[in-house]
Amino acid sequence: MDGDRASSVHGNEIWIPPATLFILLSHMKSAACESIFMSNRRLFRGVLIVLALGLLAYQDMAYAQREFRVYEGFEYDPDLELPVDYQIPGEFVVGRLMYPAGRGFGRWGGGDWEQGGTSWAVDYPRGDRTMARLLRRFSTINVRSVEQPVNLDDGDDVYYWPFLMAGLAGFWDLTDEQVAKLRDYLLRGGFLFCDSFFGTDSWIGFERGLRRIFPDLQIVDLSPDHPVFHSVYDLSELTQAQIPNMNSLMGGGGGYLGDGAIPHWRGISDDNGRLMVLIAFNNDVADSWQWADDPRYPHESVNLGLRFAVNIAVYTLTH
């Protein structure tokens, strides 16, 4: 046991430092509480043991989490200056799913997905940090200012990040072990938001990967009354809207890529109706976040994207 932990184990007994006892007992201010404590020492000793074990379990969990780190982006180098409070934890963290890509899909036609620069890093890290900043501005959620890259091969790390975002998921090519881990994560309460992919070819690749994760669950079009569209803001109109891709707009296109002109908002739910996978197909919600302050990006799409970010976060935290 580490010497700086709040308690330690000696043989079959738990030793609780006097300082811990003092803090707990100092809250028993009345004579009645003191009397109850003196007459129920064994009961209180059991309570303190449970508390001590809880502290140990919590600290063991904390040690299992991967540290914050930055990888190469897909579209640009992650040269953003880190926020001054990037080391301060939060109740909500924007998790970014790292994954191996099929077809050698890297920024330069190849690359090591574990080092970034491949399809999982699209809109990363600018879109992730913008989402965090906007959630801080438009909600009361305690949000960490920086994202968390999550590699499914890192032991049980994924289970500490309830929200994951996957970009360009039409190119994911998960291993069998990663498929099993992601399935278990989602069934245990995790949430996956799939965004920034367009066209028939991308859908074929995405659906192939998703069917490996959930071969028996249906992918359905979400109705305008689904709770994810109303957890904070009423966004029934979003199911008929397309959040455009900035590169397409800058190139004089219609905001979509390939044959992805018609937006689809889809999902997969568990047996209790909880949405586990939210799919923004033929949409680029992350672009509405990272280009929110750019006048070239449509104002109405920015408003939809910002409000939907709040809805997604609240839905994740409450379901």
The model's pLDDT over 163-180, given as tens digits with 9 standing for 90+, comes to 999 999 999 999 999 999
Cβ atoms of 121 and 71 within 8 Å: the answer is yes
3-state secondary structure of 258: coil
The sign of the CA dihedral 76, 93, 297, 264 is positive
pLDDT at 79: 67
- Summarised one tens digit per residue, pLDDT across range 49-60 is 444 444 444 444
- Summarised one tens digit per residue, pLDDT across range 176-213 is 999 999 999 999 999 999 999 999 999 999 999 999 99
pLDDT at 77: 60
274's tokens? 């909880």
Alpha-carbon distances, residue 140 vs 164, 185, 310 (angstroms): 20, 27, 10
User: Does position 46 have pLDDT exceeding 70, yes or no?
Assistant: no
pLDDT at 64: 67
Q: CA-based angle 78:80:82, to the nearest 5? A: 115
Same domain, 41 and 178: no
- Summarised one tens digit per residue, pLDDT across range 2-34 is 333 333 333 343 333 333 333 333 333 334 444
The pLDDT of 147-156, averaged and rounded, is: 97
What is the number of structural domains in the chain?
A: 2
For residue 76, being part of any structural domain is answered with no
Helices 18-25/41-64 angle, 10° precision: 110
For residue 198, being part of any structural domain is answered with yes
Average pLDDT of the chain to the nearest whole number: 83
pTM value is 0.79
Helices 41-64/31-39 angle, 10° precision: 90
Same domain, 159 and 237: yes
Structural domain that includes position 56? 8-64
- For residues 141 and 135, give the distance between their C-alpha atoms in angstroms, rounded to a whole number: 7
For residue 90, being part of any structural domain is answered with no
CATH number for 268: 3.40.50.12140
Which residues sit opposite 8 in a β-bridge? 15
Same domain, 130 and 21: no
250's tokens? 């800058």
The pLDDT of 231-237, averaged and rounded, is: 97
Same domain, 109 and 49: no
- Summarised one tens digit per residue, pLDDT across range 251-304 is 999 999 999 999 999 999 999 999 999 999 999 999 999 999 999 999 999 999
